[in-house]
Amino acid sequence: QVRLVESGGGLVQAGGSLRLSCAVSGRTFRGYHMGWFRQAPGKERDFVAAISWSGGNVYYADSVKGRFTISRENAKNTVHLQMSSLKPEDTAVYYCAGDPYRVGSRSTMYDYWGQGTQVTVSS
DSSP the chain: --EEEEE--EEEETT--EEEEEEEESS-GGG-EEEEEEE-TTS-EEEEEEE-TTS--EEE-TTTTTTEEEEEEGGGTEEEEEE-S--GGG-EEEEEEEESS--SS-GGG-SEE---EEEEEE-
Distance (Å, whole) CA 120 – CA 91: 5
Confidence of residue 54 (pLDDT cuts 50, 70, 90): very high
Confidence of residue 86 (pLDDT cuts 50, 70, 90): very high
Which pLDDT belongs to residue 70?
A: 98
Which pLDDT belongs to residue 31?
A: 82
Which pLDDT belongs to residue 8?
A: 98
Which pLDDT belongs to residue 1?
A: 81
